[in-house]
Amino acid sequence: MFKVIIIFFLFFVTLSPFPVSAEMTFSQYENEYEIANREKEYAFRLVPQFYKVLSMKGYAPALNFSYIKWKYRNEMLKHPQNPFLAFCLGELYRYRNEYEEAFKYYDAANKKAGENVFKHTMLLALFSERKLLQWQIKEEEKLIGLKKDFGALSLPLLSKYFFIRAREAAESGPGNEIEKGIRIAKELDPYNPGIQFFYIRFLLLNARFEFFDEFLTVAHTFFFDFQSRLYVIIFTYNFLFTFLTILLSGFVIAYFLKYFLFVVSKLFNFFPHNLSMSKRNFLSITLLLLPLIWTMPSLWTFIFMLVIPIPFLERKERWGLQFLILFLLILSVLGSTQTRAYTAMDPTQKIVMLDNMQKSRFDPALIRRCDSLIVVSPKDFSIYFLKGLQFKRGGFFDEAEENYRKAISLIPELYQTYNNLGNVFFWEEEIDSSIKYYEQAIRYESKSPAPHYNLAQAYVRKLLFDKSSFEMKSASQLDFELISKQIRNAKEINNHFLIDLTLPQEMLWIEFFSLKEDKHIFPWKYIGFDYRIFSALLIFFFLLLIIIPRIVKNIKDQCPICTSPISKGNSQMFENEIICWRCYGKLSHIHSLDIKERLKDKINTDVQKTLSYNAILWGLFLPGLGHLQLGKGRRGTFYLLIFSILCSLLLLSRVTNIAFIIPFSKETNFGTYIIISFIVLLYLFSLLSLFGSSYEERK
């Protein structure tokens, strides 16, 4: 009784409401952020003429370098704790191409920030925007060293906009102050299990079904990062459906295999006798296999298994199986329609997210988001396109080229990809390659002004001014306003920069349209996970370890004379053989010993014939199973071992991909064909051995 009271008390405390206001979670960081932001704005706007350079909006001619240097040094003496003054002075020296002095002031800015998280976060953003990787790494290392002292800020420190996102979450959240506080806390520290469990409790108390999804997210957070967690959440929601579908399909296969000969004989006698024996046999087998094909992995398998019980299952096992089926049906209806496993890759949300991504500047967080999307949609060209666009904007041209080529391999006729890939080669000083891809973009879409304009810039680099003038006229005729704006921007920054193309929203829907056109697709394919290899391995081991031993054990539960199913209630011993009551009634009325001996010989012959036929049937299913049923354990184990090794080799691409050592076409995977031929030969020798053993027994 005492234990029950303690458990009830803990449960009551766990579910008890705990008011958390947005101000309580928000105020402890607001003042520090505002102070750091004011110091940054003060340093940037100290000299208005230099603000244009600091904000990266262009170049400011005729700057008074001595005055600006004196001004910032004087302010550094007045405000020694402001790191942004040292940063601005470093930018001034870098603007003058005096890099050694600039680097000294960058280091000074890092030191002056001290242990203020917000100052280091803002410096990290500034260094990242200017591609100053050395000081970006220093800021990241500094933040990692500080994270142990800042509680809720422990893990998301490297995200430079976490506080802004927290404010946006508070503004976009519902009117409930408690949920506002939780949303802010989750944004500040999305991997904190305490905050996540509190959010689960809040959803549960408010009867919100999302608590189940949040609970799975918390369970996976302990072991996986964001990319793996998304992958595992999707897998978790579909594992039960996949596993139970394979399990039930295996039972259906076992049901038909066990009573194959009996049902075929009954169907054979059902058809009209004026048909030939071959036609009657063909119709019997076809009629028997149609329900099996129809009930292969689908929802109809569940209905079939609920209506038709498996004969060799006990009552408790059958009840347990039917309970699992009902549980799966309820879970699939509730889970697939109301949890984020189904809506995580909702088309509308994904299209809006991708469209915002291609309009944003370079951000490593967007690269990680693209990687997460590739996990669930590995064949979506738009993700590789946007990832390449982000890498190009960040100056990582090799990675941008790799992703653009991947997008081209998925959809080769998209002119935007060729245009942007040409821009990558242009900035890598590979002008000939850039011209090649610009021309290819024009070949696919001649009415787009961007490839013509970019091609004109490439011809200028090659000193082909006539061709450049022609392409510029073509671009102006197609879109005069765009080209005029581009020329004005180029003059402002004293440099000719190129036009990167983005994808229209209708192009981002191609992946979902292709899924909708696929008529043979399973439900989980819409989420993006391919279960074919997993399903094949699971059903192979399931049949090998669970179904087959049970059927082989119970294969003799048939009458040796008429092959009808027998059990303890409808069987009788006759001449050391268990036969059905019908055959026993016929034999019990025969008093001649000679006839009984002949019947006994016939029974033995029929038993051997049935056993050999069953062995051949199992040999067609897997090499070696027929030998195990005949009692030849060593030979059967040998065939099964070789078959398992060959099937394992098929899954290893390094073993099967041996085309590089064969002097033939490299596109042909000879290793796979060789292993498949070995498997066919193994089946052939196994069946020949079974036919030979059955012939010897008859002889």
Instruction: Note whether 220 and 190 are within 8 A (CB).
Output: no
Residue range 223-239: average pLDDT? Answer: 48
Tell which of 275, 307, 342 closes a domain.
342
- pLDDT tens digits, 269-321: 777 777 777 667 666 665 665 554 444 434 444 444 444 444 445 666 666 66
Cα-based distances in Å from 405 to 192, 430, 543: 39, 16, 42
Site of tokens 């012959």: 605
Is residue 630 a part of any domain in this protein? yes
User: pLDDT band at residue 449, thresholds of 50, 70 and 90?
Assistant: confident
Same domain, 279 and 376: no
Count how many domains the chain has: 3
For residue 380, what pLDDT is reported? 74
Least confident of 356-370, 495-509, 598-612: 495-509
Q: Rounded to whole angstroms, how far apart are CA atoms 417 and 295? A: 44
**Residue 290 and residue 334 in one domain:** yes
Give residue 591's pLDDT.
62
In the chain, count of helices (H) and strands (E)? Answer: 37, 2
Amino acid found at 630: L
pLDDT at 445 over 60: yes
Q: What is the pLDDT of residue 583?
A: 73
DSSP 8-class letter at 580: E
The answer to whether residue 669 scores a pLDDT higher than 50 is yes
Does 488 fall in a domain?
yes
The type of residue at 433 is: S
Question: pLDDT at position 378, please?
Answer: 72
On whether residue 252 sits in a domain, the answer given is yes
Task: Say yes or no: 330 and 438 in one domain.
Answer: no
Q: 361 and 506 share a domain?
A: yes
409 & 266 share domain: no
Whether 612 contacts 626, CB under 8 Å: no
Do 391 and 304 lie in one domain? The reply is no
User: In terms of domains, do 365 and 478 share one?
Assistant: yes
pLDDT digits (tens, 9 = 90+) for 69-121: 888 888 888 888 888 888 888 888 887 788 888 888 888 888 888 877 778 87
Which is more confidently placed, 369 or 537? Answer: 369
Q: What are phi and psi of 97, to 5 degrees?
A: 65, 25
378 lies in some domain:
yes
Domain boundary among 342, 366, 384: 342
Least confident of 15-24, 180-189, 376-385, 556-565: 15-24
Dihedrals φ, ψ of 580, to 5°?
Answer: -75, 165
Percent of the chain at pLDDT above 90?
0
Q: Is 498 inside any structural domain?
A: yes
Whether residue 113 is contained in a domain is answered as no
Q: Which residue has the higher pLDDT, 29 or 108?
A: 108
Give the mean pLDDT of the chain. Answer: 65
**Which residues, including other chains, have CB under 8 Å from residue 18's CB and lie 6 or more apart?**
198
Question: Phi and psi for 488 in degrees, rounded to 5?
Answer: -65, -45
Cβ-based neighbour number of residue 532 at 10 Å? 9
Q: Does 359 lie in the same domain as 275?
A: no
Residues whose CB is less than 8 angstroms from the CB of residue 663 and which lie 6 or more positions away in sequence, other chains included: none
Tens digits of per-residue pLDDT, 402-429?
888 888 888 888 888 888 888 888 888 8
Q: How does DSSP assign 351-377, residue by residue?
A: HHHHHHHHTS---HHHHHHHHHHHHH-
Question: Distance between CA atoms of 169 and 146, rounded to whole angstroms?
Answer: 25
Alpha helices (runs of H) in 206-294, residue ranges in sequence order: 211-221, 226-258, 260-270, 277-294
Rounded Cα distance, 598 and 606, in Å = 12
Phi, psi torsion values for 150, nearest 5 degrees: -130, 30
Tell me the per-residue pLDDT of 653-668, one tens digit each, with 9 for 90 and over: 444 444 333 444 444 4
**Alpha-carbon distance 342 to 338, whole Å?**
8
**Per mean pLDDT, which range of 265-274, 319-328, 333-342, 532-541 is the poorest?**
333-342
pLDDT value, residue 603: 66
Answer whether 0.95 is exceeded by the pTM.
Answer: no
Please state whether beta strands 571-574 and 577-580 pair in parallel, antiparallel, or not at all (unpaired): antiparallel
Residue 373, domain CATH:
1.25.40.10
For residue 162, pLDDT beyond 70: no
Are residues 323 and 381 both part of a single domain? no
User: Token pair 């089946």 is at which residue?
Assistant: 683
Query: What mean pLDDT is predicted for residues 684-699?
Result: 62
327, 357: one domain: no
CB neighbours of residue 233 within 10 Å: 21
pLDDT of residue 174: 47
Instruction: Name the pLDDT band for 638 (thresholds 50, 70, 90).
Output: confident
Asked if 509 and 383 sit in the same domain, the reply is yes
Q: How far apart are CA 690 and CA 699, in angstroms?
A: 14
Residue type, 62: A
| Identity at 531, one-letter amino acid code | Y
624 backbone φψ class: left, alpha, beta (φ>0; ψ -120 to 50): left
Model confidence pLDDT, tens digit, residues 196-214: 666 777 777 766 666 666 7
- Residue 665 forms part of a structural domain: yes
Alpha-carbon Rg for the chain, nearest whole angstrom, is: 37
- Full residue range of the structural domain in which residue 377 is found: 347-517
The last residue of one of the domains, among 468, 502, 517, is 517
Tell me if 109 sits within 8 A of 93, measured CB to CB: no
Rounded to whole angstroms, what are the CA distances from 302 to 45, 247, 278, 299, 447? Answer: 70, 10, 34, 6, 55
> What would the two tokens of residue 69 be?
């240097």
Does 667 reside within a domain? yes
pLDDT of residue 178: 60
Please report, for residues 204, 526, 547, the alpha-carbon distance to residue 555 in angstroms, rounded to integers and kept in the order given: 51, 41, 12
Residue 505 CB neighbour total at 10 angstroms: 11
Is the distance from CB of 104 to CB of 78 less than 8 angstroms? no
Helix (H) or strand (E) holding 573: strand 571-574
Same domain? For 395 and 248 the reply is no
